[in-house]
Structure formats: C-alpha cells, structure tokens
Homo-oligomer: A and B are copies of this chain.
C-alpha cells in the first residue's frame, strides 16, 4: 500500500488554473446545497497566543472525495520570515478509508479561498459591475484578483494596505497578470470602498477585531466579501444589506455563538452559498446591497485536493511512500 506525497513545489508545478479551481469549488457548493456534503464544524487548538491550528474534515458525495486539512495560522510567523498560514491535507480512499495522499495545502488554501469569492461574485455581483476593491494586499489580496478577473469584466481595481510599500509591490507584481484592468493605488480604504462595485477585505483575523468600514463608506450598490471574518466591515453594513449569505450556515452560527466574532451581525441566515449555487435563493444579482461572508470550508479543500491528486498521478509528480 502506497501514499503519494506532494510538496508545495510539487503542487505548484502542476499549474492548475484558477478556472479549474473555481469550477471545482462551484460544483462543491452546489452539492452542498443538494445535501450531499458532510461538513462537521472544524475544531481547533491554540498552542500559543494569537495562533490556531484547525482540523477541517469533509466528505463530498457524488465527487466521492474525503479528507482532512490541518491548517495553522501564527500571527508571529511573518516577522520570523515564515508564512502566516501553513497547511497539510490528507486524502483517503472513500471505499476503504486508507490514506492515498498527503500534500501541502498552503497553495490550496490560498487559491480555493479566492475561488469561493469568485463563485460569490459570479452569482451575486450586479450585472454591470466592473470595479473591484481590495483592502489588505497579502496572499489573499493577490489570489482574489486572479480569481475574480475570471468571472468579472474588470476595468479598474482599487487597492489599499496599511503598509504603503505593499501597495507599490502589489501593483508591480499584479499589473502584468491582469493587463485588462487599471490597478489604482489608494491612500486610504475609503478610496477603495467608494469606487468599487465589489469590495474584498483580506486583512488579518485577530482576536479582537477593530472594524473600520461603515455603510456610509460604500456605494449605493455593492457586493461586500469579507474573507477576514469581521475584521473590516462594521455591524451596520452586515445589518443593512438586502442579502446576507455565508459559505456555511452552521459554521457561521457556531462561531458567532462563541461571542468573539460577528457581534451585531445577523443571527439568522436564510441562505448559504450552497443554496445560492443550487438555485434556491433566486437571482441575487438584481439586489442592491449584498454581503457574502466566507470563512472557508473543508469541502473546497478536498475537491481541489482531488484535482491536484488526479493531475499528479497522470503526470508522475510527487514521491511514493510505503504506508
């Protein structure tokens, strides 16, 4: 019995496109909406202050894929020259439970998160939307541009980070990868939010969020996508929207119930992205003010891991190990 090991470099060498990941994530949202996904709430431990390691198991029926992601976030890592997020994923044979692959999941985490946002944009952004705003220019600030340009006809991208040098580096790095749009540097977040049809916030998730984007900072029509819990958007935004969607109802309500995050955010969620993609929420694109709060779900990790595994086997990438 053998196990395929794929390092970060192995995974990246497969050059899986954003489109492939978006399609996989979209399908897994649909299957979730159809009740074919098992997605228990993710438990975690905190070995140090401002650190977490979460276990994220999932089974996605029909695609028939099962696995777990074990993902850490250490706020102190960047200062040490180490990545903030590190993750490993184990994929199993759903027929026997035997592990078939162990792979780096740092790339998966970076890309599937942006792909989930892209699916939200596809189903929720107003038909005429052409400007994207990004607050927080780290890994997610990069992957979100590359994913969302696949689903939106972008003309302008407004970007801001509290660290000025990051804005300049971002524009230099991303402009060639997104030649169809002008990337506009912003001195403050308001320049981003007042000019953008779709606003993505990708700042750090901290233990005590200091929110800063209020309803008055946004356009009359907008789609807000926080990928940083409630680190950025004020309560009045979450309350005022015509549509408030999350990626997984149970996970949102469990986290909110712990009373650390999402104070003042809605207590009742009518739809999650599973319902939206399965067609049970109607056409949300026609609504004016919308928020898709995406915390990240394990079903996305495992479907993307399956893409990686199948391609790696086909191309002979990775190391085979004895079980």
Contact = CB atoms under 8 A, between A and B. Distances in A.
A41 B41 CA distance: 10
A interface bracket (residues with beta carbon within 8 Å of B): 35 or more
Interface stretch (A53-61, A121-129, A188-196, A287-295): A53-61
A43 to B, nearest CB: 3
A85 B86 CA distance: 28
Residues of A contacting B: mostly: strand
Given A48-B95, A72-B92, A99-B86, A321 B322 contact: no
B72 A98 contact: yes
Contacts of A258: none
Contacts of A176: none
A5 B5 CA distance: 10
A66 B40 contact: no
A48 to B, nearest CB: 7
A250 to B, nearest CB: 11
A171 B44 CA distance: 43
A51 B7 CA distance: 29
A92 B55 CA distance: 13
A45 interface: yes
Contact of A96 (B7, B80, B97, B99): B80
13 contacts: A7-B323, A8-B323, A45-B57, A45-B66, A53-B66, A53-B97, A54-B57, A70-B90, A70-B92, A70-B99, A77-B97, A86-B98, A88-B90
Given A7-B323, A43-B57, 11 more contacts: A38-B47, A40-B43, A43-B43, A45-B58, A46-B59, A47-B66, A53-B57, A53-B66, A57-B70, A82-B98, A90-B90
Interface of A: 5, 7-9, 38, 40-48, 51, 53-59, 64, 66, 68, 70, 72-74, 76-77, 80, 82, 86, 88, 90, 92, 94-99, 102, 104, 319, 321-323
